[in-house]
A = this chain, B = another copy of it.
Amino acid sequence: MTAPEQRAPKQDRSRLTRERLLGASIDLLATQGWAATTVGAVAAAAGVSRGAAQHHFPTREDLITAALLHMIEQRIEDVRNVGLDLPEPGPERTVAVVRLIVQHYTSDLFKAALHVWTAAASDPALRDRVLPLENHMSREVLAIAASALGRDPADVRVRRPLQATLDLARGLGLADVLSDDSARREKVIRYWAETIDLVLAQNPETSAEDVTSATF
């Protein structure tokens, strides 16, 4: 930001405090898990007083959903930027698009989000807050991926393989939590990209009924 220090120092400090709290939340979630990520622990990790933290985020749920949203927006921006710099159209571009989606789900954000999702599994109120974030992220990533392939995300023949790619990526992200799965994952990515190319090449033969079927 370019606002002079003397013009809005209070707002700047407030924004900085907020961002430090959000960043510390993601770090703590990814490394220590849900139980350890209290407002007090996040405030301490961020070097912020507990009172200041609670001024910004009255509850842990407020803090953590804000942190997830903040990270999701950053990640979508990252994915969008990488999506602008892919190989020429062809098999390697499809591989790059699948890899882009999978990397999104093997990031630190995913590891942080996994702790929140798992906690949400036994906490309906948290689930109601997390689900719209997840849907928002999926829609954005899917649209970026379709665009990178030069395809229409509204076309069910495109949306299906890409939606399945998001599901695959989530599963690969989960496997990565238990062990460094990167060598195997790269093979799955290449194999999966080949199947997408094969399916998209079949498009003209897709039945009309299939094309007009409801959302996926």
Contact = CB atoms under 8 A, between A and B. Distances in A.
Interface of A: 31-36, 111, 114-115, 117-122, 127, 130-131, 134, 160-161, 163-164, 166-175, 177-179, 184, 187-188, 191-192, 194-195, 198-199, 202, 216
B161 A191 contact: yes
A101 to B, nearest CB: 11
Nearest to A191: B160
A174 B163 contact: no
Nearest to A170: B171
Contacts of A117: 174, 177-178
B177 A167 contact: no
Contact of A179 (B118, B119, B131, B202): B131
Contacts of A32: 122
14 contacts: A36-B122, A115-B118, A131-B178, A134-B178, A160-B191, A164-B191, A167-B168, A167-B175, A171-B171, A171-B174, A194-B199, A195-B195, A195-B199, A198-B198
Given A115-B118, A187-B216, A164 B192 contact: yes
Contacts of A164: 168, 188, 191-192, 195
Nearest to A202: B198
A118 B177 contact: yes
Nearest to A114: B118
Contact of A130 (B178, B195, B202): B178
A2 B187 CA distance: 50
Closest 6 CB pairs of A and B: A171-B171, A170-B171, A167-B171, A118-B118, A121-B177, A33-B122
